[in-house]
Structure 1
Amino acid sequence: MPTLTKLVSMQEASEHNSKDDCWVVIDGKVYDVTSYLDEHPGGDDVLLTATGKDAKEEFEDVGHSQDARDMLKNYFVGEIDPSAATIPETKQEERANTIQKIKDLTRQYWAVPVAVVGISVVLSFIYLRRK
């Protein structure tokens, strides 16, 4: 007797995106990795940033072992419903905006230490010149 696989929309999978409820999609299969977040060798942030999309490429790029691939079976929830719509554009735009804000912040934060060093050099030069 064949077992029925639960079909999950990408929208539903993307809603499980917190430390208390984390689903990850890898190659069209949905996994509830909430209980594994603290044990993940790469940290929970890696899994949390993989929510809301199919993270197959990220999973493959890391070069997970066969043991890691076998472990996925323990967290299997279902498969992505191919007939359901993908994540709404607003969610994708929100994610893109968040990424852009993080990039902007990293550009701003390097300026403060450089300014402090620059001012220190100028003040040192002025002080030494007066002596």
Structure 2
Amino acid sequence: MPTLTKLYTIQEASQHNTRDDCWIVVNNKVYDVTSYLEEHPGGDDVVLASTAKDATDDFEDAGHSKSARELLETFCIGELDTSAPAIPEQEVSSQKQYAEKVMNLTKVYWAVPVAVVGISVVVGILYMRRK
């Protein structure tokens, strides 16, 4: 009888992003690598930086050996549910709102240095005229 594979969404996997509870997604499989963090040759920070997203590119770019790939398989807890949307609509709208806020801040804060430079130029011109 075939075993049933547990399906996880990227949102579920992304909630496990600490040293005490660390999951990564590589090649549409979900791995609980919490117990391996301290043993990881590249350090636990490298693995933690790959949580909350699809870490396939990070894993492949690191050039892992065949034995590392076999070791990773021992931590497999399920597969990624690819039928679920990668980013829920609510998150997309909040990202758009965040981007708009950043753009508004940059519009406000560029004015301050420009005003300082402008005032400095005017003061410099007035000072040179007085001499």
Question: What runs of 5+ residues in structure 1 fail to find an aligned partner?
Answer: 98-131
Give the SS at the match of 2:74: helix
- Could you list the per-position Cα deviations for residues 21-43 of structure 1 after superposition, in whole angstroms to 9, with x for gaps in the alignment? 00000011000000000000000
Q: Which has the larger radius of gyration?
A: 2
Give the SS at the match of 2:48: helix
How many angstroms apart in 1 are the aligned matches of 2:27 and 2:8? 13
**TM-score, normalization: structure 1?**
0.66
**What amino acid is aligned across from residue 10 of structure 1 in structure 2?**
I
Tell me the CA shift for residue 87 of structure 1. 4.0
Tell me the percent identity. 61
Task: Give the superposed CA RMSD.
Answer: 2.0
* Aligned twin of 1:24: 24
Tell me the CA shift for residue 85 of structure 1. 2.4
Runs of 4+ residues over 4 Å off in structure 1: none
Q: How many aligned positions are there?
A: 94
**TM-score, normalization: structure 2?**
0.66
How many angstroms apart in 1 are the aligned matches of 2:75 and 2:65? 16
**What amino acid is aligned across from residue 34 of structure 2 in structure 1?**
T
1:76-95 → structure 2 map (5 Å cutoff): 76-88=76-88, 89=91, 93=95
**What amino acid is aligned across from residue 39 of structure 1 in structure 2?**
E
Tell me the CA shift for residue 63 of structure 1. 0.6
How many angstroms apart in 2 are the aligned matches of 1:29 and 1:23? 10
- In the alignment, is residue 38 of structure 1 matched against residue 38 of structure 2? yes
**What amino acid is aligned across from residue 59 of structure 1 in structure 2?**
F
1:1-16 → structure 2 map (5 Å cutoff): 1-16=1-16
How many angstroms apart in 2 are the aligned matches of 1:42 and 1:24? 15
